[in-house]
Amino acid sequence: MALFAVAGQPSATAAADPAAADGRATTADAGTGYWHTSGRQILDANDQPVRIAGVNWFGFETDNHVAHGLWARDYKSMIDQMKSLGYNTIRLPYSDDIFKPGTMPDSINFYNMNADLQGLDSLQVMDKIIDYAGSIGLRVILDRHRPDASGQSALWYTASVPESTWITDLKALATRYQGNPAVIGIDLHNEPHDPACWGCGDTSIDWRLAAERAGDAVLGVNPDLLIFVEGIQTYNGTSGWWGGNLMGAGQYPVELDVPNRVVYSAHDYATSVAQQSWFDDPTFPANMPGIWSKYWGYLFEQNIAPVWVGEFGTTLQSTTDQQWLKALVTYLRPTSTYGGDSFNWTFWSWNPDSGDTGGILEGDWQTVDTVKDGYLASIKAPAFDGGGTSGGASSGTSSGASSGTSSGASAGTSSGTSSGTSAGSTGGDTGGAGSGGCTAALHVDNQWDAGFTATVTVTAGAAAVNGWTVKWSWPGGQQETSGWGADLAQSGSAVTATNLSYNGALPAAGSTTFGLQGTATGAFTVPTLSCTAS
């Protein structure tokens, strides 16, 4: 996400939009193939409007050289949870370091998780994440976040990473994912800021001209991609968030050799990132729609081009931040009313370890900040067809331990907990009967006044299994509301969980896990589980 700008000029911030529960304007093949633009809308290969409503999952741009949280979770479990919450797109930040030969990911846990990532370099892990996301109907936007892992840059090049390297690496990505429509496009550079200009004509600092050079290079090797172009910081003396100022795009549009490929991207943040003058306006928050329209919304309102709020986020701790997010969600247009004719977005961030915003997940990398997620409910949008992507399914979860696993915590980690949620009591494990070829144990990870999260561990018996089904009955009024890593269904108090394609095959004595979140009133005893292998 954004760093702070120079005195008086705060940085740009991330925006995201989860998927809508109502399923408005969705069809069986929504999002088919590669996408293009028409006026302010993004259309799929069948000319159906689509809406990007997702999350930022950062880490490839850091010195871990891989998406964060894989020290705590299996990557497929993480992506399953994103989809279960209604997010349909992942923005994956990266730095050019991952293109250096021998760059390996750091801080991946291979014990009972992520088995098929072992031994892969950073780009190969990115392949796995993209392929699996595409196979379950999610789309991915690749974000050139930093020239190297040391930090963001005002311009698209630095002394150590020249423009030629930037373009070479963009072309390499475009070539790598040619033929895989799970990757819908590339965000060319994250948060250009002063001295970057728009339309000034100086090729060393004119971001609009640089975006045209890079966009044409990308489309020259993969003409099917969307090209996402962020704003700058200052235009004609008016400053805002880094990457959030698109005031010049109307007069000086980005024009590429392949038409109907440009999506403009703005970043917008709350006071937990930095203070801006509009937060002190006596009319706040009623003044905010006018601010957004001036900086970037006019492009959508005047049917010039689609607009994607690529980052937006907040800790939600202050009243001002709460009012800001409520107003922004309203401005982005509810899916139930407008369907795909809306602003696109990806929330910053999925990760809890974003120091000044926190994330959708809390510090345990499992529990959902239901308050923050709830603000986004009206602008979430349906997932897309998963049939046209390369599947990415692996042969199953391995039980073997791996050496070298590290915690991977980053500086400035924020728990991101929502109000009213306690650290929670934890319940004990309850084993299932072993006669079905497998056993299952449920552990309550967190419990608060109105809900809980839990992890279920499934373990094969003396022989390998090709699939499993776990059943139990809640002892009280508990209700499963979302799950990941398994196909869960509840009828009355009875719950049935079956394996997904990637975690059904277990070696003898091998294990895998799945998780769930639910509602509950008061403490409850952990149920007894049964497990049947197939």
Q: What single DSSP character describes residue 329? A: H
Q: Which two tokens stand for residue 489?
A: 């269904």
Of 196, 117, 217, 121, which Cα lies nearest the Cα of 153?
A: 196
311: annotated active-site residue:
yes
Q: Is 82 left (phi over 0), alpha (psi -120 to 50) or beta?
A: alpha
Residue the block writes with tokens 């925006």: 15
Query: How far apart, in Å, are the Cα atoms of 289 and each of 136, 249, 324, 333, 372?
Result: 35, 19, 10, 12, 21
The one-letter amino acid at 29: D
Q: Which two tokens stand for residue 381?
A: 């949008």
Q: Tell me, letter by letter, the H, E, C secondary structure of 248-271.
A: CCCCCCCCCCCCCCEEEEEEEECC
Q: How far apart are CA 433 and CA 431, in angstroms?
A: 7
| Cβ atoms of 341 and 39 closer than 8 Å | no
Q: Which two tokens stand for residue 225?
A: 């991609």
Three-state secondary structure call for residue 172: helix
How crowded is residue 427: how many other Cβ atoms within 10 Å of its Cβ? 18
Q: Which two tokens stand for residue 314?
A: 């907040």
Helix, strand, coil percentages, rounded to 5, for the chain: 20, 25, 55
Q: What single DSSP character describes residue 501? A: T
Active-site residue among 61, 191, 212, 362? Answer: 191
Q: How far apart are CA 66 and CA 123, in angstroms?
A: 9
Q: What single DSSP character describes residue 465? A: B
Active-site residue among 61, 212, 230, 311? Answer: 311
Q: Which two tokens stand for residue 16?
A: 């995201």
Q: How far apart are CA 462 and CA 185, in angstroms?
A: 47
Does the bond joining 349 to the residue before it have cis omega, within 30 degrees of 0? yes
Of 449, 421, 442, 427, which Cα lies nearest the Cα of 520?
A: 449
255: annotated active-site residue:
no
Three-state secondary structure call for residue 332: coil
Three-state secondary structure call for residue 70: coil
Q: How far apart are CA 99 and CA 94, in angstroms?
A: 10
Strand-pairing partners, residue 187, are: 143, 228
Helix (H) or strand (E) holding 301: helix 298-301
Strands 139-146 and 89-95: parallel
Phi, psi dihedrals of residue 173, rounded to the nearest 5°: -65, -45
| Cβ atoms of 264 and 249 closer than 8 Å | yes
Which are the catalytic amino acids? 191, 311
